[in-house]
Chain A
């Protein structure tokens, strides 16, 4: 079966989208990870200060969590930065995201329903924005995180104009 299963002739592979996300996405992701890991560590440490009886059983998970948080904050954003790429052509939006599970998504212009940009407080601090492209599918939304925010605004504008020019109800 395996001889049959290779496509006609040459092996096919998805090429990476052309654009990388903004370099500042790395510190943004890093800060997010540090905050999500740091808050429970802080809670555990504060509890350990007050509850002397259970101190060991509070500090042990706190230490494990600290190591995990530091490791992931150090390495994951670098991995994400290498994986996360995007591309917008006249016909489609094409993205690659993920790390352990990588995901390539393509949405044709004619099927785009709405284009949003979002900026959380951290993203604002780093001058970044996330562009979300939704389709009629419950599973079709495509996100491009970590874009320089002016670029994101331009991109959203451009996508909105292109999709408005395309006829059809996008289902």
Chain B
């Protein structure tokens, strides 16, 4: 670290080496097929003579650009704010008020870890324009990153000793890996593997060869068996890949409570990640049970917090996850520990069921969803007079209808709401069952929504709006009186003044 003027610091200089090595890696990936193709047209030596200097030039340019970027980037931490000056052509100066800083997240890929470097992202979590609310240091030395994190997130007043924190709240149990393949990730990765094989073969002009080779291996087998073999191979690859992905993401996972009221998640096998969450931003937790995990009795815990940095859909789910899929009891224990409650509200609550009319709605949706593909197949089969499609139509109906009805019944059984101490709890969903426990004082408004169909059945959907998480959490298809009574009990005096008690069924105020 060189200090040029008052407190200004530079990023770590080794970033240039990292960039050069990363670019070299990309060059190898692109260069090998290039050498292969040019080599086939001419000779290996000519191919190397063309590709190697090209790669060297690309690496040199990347390294130089990074050196320039390093040279032009300065940051400093003042008593009241953090400043960053950067940009080669367009200079940007960014300044974040320290009291507004909500997160300091650290990430280090394998290469950065070799050099003991870390990428730091400092965020205020405000929903202002993109980039305005965060500040990235790319990269700094690990010790410096830790120092920044501690300094920026510790809210204990200077001089005071503060509470020491509870230390470790949860660590990874390697057995949890068995939950990882139980999701849509497995078939997706399996299919992706086939795509990858064909793509790589295509680079070397051997796509047809690979397809023919597979076809020849399968020729003796009946069609159904051949398809089954391919599906099984895909699933096995997907299973291994999903498990590997889980290990990469969650290896060495640990959840700590640190002095100054910060929750910290650290995890990752190759890429090490550290995500911090200020406790005073926490408005509750959500226990998420995707169907596959629920069948095995597992649940994951997501934080419901204000101002979580949301970069992309992918990253947002990672950032708010406090505990990966783990046995239900462990999930409840961690939820309780995170909320500083003796028992998790998601476990303590007595959920009240919703009116039977909600079940009818779910069954009708399910049947409509199951009928749609059958009708399309039927129509196509009739128009094109292809008999196979007609058979597929009734087959799909026979398969899909029971599944749809089962899911609908399950979805109805899962509907529920209740109050547990300072939390209101709402549960819904079948394929993804979510049980949210939201601090009652975190509710900043109510929305009641009713379609004309719901009105006929006396149902409504109640949404508690909040500054945290997705902005609103819903109690679906609750009975009208039941829901309004719940809203009033959970957060008094919001809907209260606007309620008609003992309203007559034939009220003319309905429009």
Question: Using a CB–CB distance below 8 Å, which chain A residues touch chain B?
Answer: 1-2, 4-17, 79, 82-83, 87, 89, 91-92, 94, 98, 100-108, 111, 135-140, 142, 170-171
Contact B127 A101 (CB under 8 A): no
Within 8 Å of chain A (Cβ to Cβ): is B220? no
Stretch at the interface among B10-18, B366-374, B494-502: B494-502
Q: Is A107's CB under 8 angstroms from B445's CB?
A: yes
Known: A2-B356, A136-B306, A138-B471. A104 touches B447 (CB 8 A): yes
The reply to whether B481 and A11 form a contact with Cβ atoms under 8 Å apart is yes
Per-residue A-contact encoding for B456-498, CB less than 8 Å = 1, 0 else: 0000000101110011100000011110111010000111011
New A-B pairs, 5, CB < 8 Å, besides A7-B486, A101-B452, A108-B494: A14-B498, A14-B500, A15-B498, A100-B452, A107-B444
A16 and B485 in contact, given A108-B494, A136-B444 (Cβ under 8 angstroms):
no
Chain A residues with CB below 8 A from B467, complex form: 135-137, 170-171
Least CB distance from A13 to B in Å reads: 4
Interface centre among A5, A8, A111 (most CB of B within 10 A): A5
> In chain B, what residue has the closest Cβ to A18?
B498
Please measure, in the bound complex, the distance between the C-alpha atom of A89 and the C-alpha atom of B465, giving whole angstroms.
Answer: 20
Judge whether B511 and A101 touch: CB under 8 Å: no
B450 contacts A140, C-beta separation under 8 Å: no
Contact of B482 with A6 in the complex, beta carbons under 8 Å: yes
The CA of A170 and the CA of B466, in the complex, are separated in Å by: 10
Cβ of B355 within 8 Å of any chain A Cβ, yes or no, is: yes
Q: What's the tally of chain B residues with a CB closer than 8 Å to chain A?
A: 47
Q: Which residues of A lie under 8 Å from residue B444 when comparing CB positions?
A: 107-108, 111, 135-137, 140, 170-171
A141 to chain B, nearest CB (A): 9
Q: Is B507 an interface residue (CB 8 A)?
A: yes
Give the CA-CA distance A2 to B127 in the complex, in Å.
42
Across the interface, do B485 and A102 meet the contact criterion of CB distance under 8 Å?
Answer: no
Q: Which residues of chain A come closer than 8 Å to B446, judged between CB atoms?
A: 105-106
- Judge whether A13 and B480 touch: CB under 8 Å: yes
Complex Cα gap A163–B296 (Å): 49
Instruction: Indicate if the CB atoms of A7 and B445 lie closer than 8 Å.
Output: no
Residues of B with C-beta under 8 A to A13:
480-481, 484, 499-500, 503, 507
Contact at A171–B447, with CB atoms within 8 Å?
Answer: no
Instruction: Name the contact of A7 in the complex, choosing from B442, B481, B509 (C-beta under 8 A).
Output: B481
Per-residue contact bits, chain B 303-324, to A (CB 8 Å; 1 contact, 0 not): 0001000000000000000000
Cβ of A137 and Cβ of B465 under 8 Å apart? yes
Mind listing 26 A-B residue pairs with CB under 8 Å? A1-B353, A1-B356, A2-B355, A5-B352, A6-B482, A11-B505, A12-B500, A13-B480, A13-B500, A13-B503, A13-B507, A14-B499, A15-B500, A92-B497, A100-B451, A101-B449, A102-B449, A104-B449, A108-B493, A108-B494, A136-B306, A137-B466, A139-B470, A139-B471, A142-B445, A171-B306
Nearest chain B CB to A16's CB is how many angstroms away?
5
**Chain B neighbourhood of A170, CB < 8 A:** 444, 467
Q: Do B465 and A92 touch (CB < 8 A)?
A: no
Verify if B354 is at the interface (C-beta below 8 Å from A). yes
For B470, give its contact among A10, A92, A138 (CB under 8 Å): A138
Q: Is the CB of A139 within 8 A of B499?
A: no
Contact in complex: A108, B445 (CB < 8 Å): yes
The 10 lowest CB-CB distance pairs between A and B, nearest first, are: A7-B485, A138-B471, A136-B467, A10-B502, A139-B471, A111-B444, A139-B472, A171-B467, A13-B503, A137-B465
* Closest residue on chain B to residue A98 by CB atoms: B449
Q: Which B residues touch A102, using CB under 8 A?
A: 449-451, 455, 511
Chain A residues positioned under 8 Å from B442 (CB to CB) = 171
Distance of B154 from chain A, by nearest CB (Å): 21
A15-B479 contact in complex given A101-B449, A103-B448, C-beta closer than 8 Å: no
Q: Tell me, in angstroms, the Cα distance from A10 to B463 when the chains sit together.
A: 23
Among B202-236, those with CB < 8 Å from A are none
Q: Which chain A residue lies CB-closest to B454?
A: A101
Main secondary structure of the interface of B (DSSP, over half): mixed
Q: Is the CB of A137 within 8 A of B471?
A: yes
Q: Which residues of B does A touch, CB under 8 Å? A: 127, 306, 352-356, 442, 444-452, 455, 463, 465-467, 470-472, 479-482, 484-486, 488, 493-495, 497-503, 505, 507, 509, 511
Residue on A with the closest CB to B356?
A2
Enumerate chain A residues within 8 angstroms of B480, measured Cβ to Cβ: 11-13
Closest to B493 in A: A91
CB-CB under 8 A from B449, the residues of chain A are 98, 101-104
Report chain A residues within 8 Å CB of B354: 5
Q: Are A12 and B465 in contact (CB-based, < 8 A)?
A: no
B494 CB → nearest A CB, Å: 5
Q: How far is the CA of A101 from the CA of B463 in the complex (A)?
A: 14
| B488 neighbours in A (Cβ, 8 Å) | 12
Q: How far is the CA of A101 from the CA of B511 in the complex (A)?
A: 11
B485, A12: Cβ atoms closer than 8 Å:
yes
Tell me if B471 and A140 are in contact (CB < 8 A).
yes
Neighbour of B451 across the interface among A7, A9, A101, CB < 8 A: A101
Cross-chain contact of B445 among A1, A91, A137 (Cβ < 8 A): A137
Residues of A within 8 A of B127 (CB): 138
- 8 Å CB contact of A106 from B445, B470, B471, B486: B445
Question: How far apart sit A92 and B447, CA to CA, in the bound complex (Å)?
Answer: 13
Q: Which of B472, B484, B505 contacts A140 (CB 8 A)?
A: B472
Chain A residue at minimum C-beta to C-beta distance from B473:
A139
In the assembled complex, which residues on chain B have CB atoms less than 8 Å from the CB atom of A136?
Answer: 306, 444, 467
Known: A15-B499, A140-B444. A1 touches B511 (CB 8 A): no
Give every chain A residue within 8 A of B465 (Cβ-Cβ).
107, 135, 137, 139-140
For B444, the closest partner residue in chain A by CB is: A111
Interchain CB contact under 8 A, B472 and A7: no
A15 to B501, CA, bound (A): 9
What is the CB-to-nearest-CB distance from B23 to chain A, in angstroms, rounded to a whole number? 39
Q: Is the CB of B494 within 8 A of A106?
A: yes
Closest chain B residue to A1 by CB distance? Answer: B353
Chain A nearest CB, measured from B351 CB (Å): 12
In the complex, what residues of A have CB within 8 A of residue B352's CB?
4-5
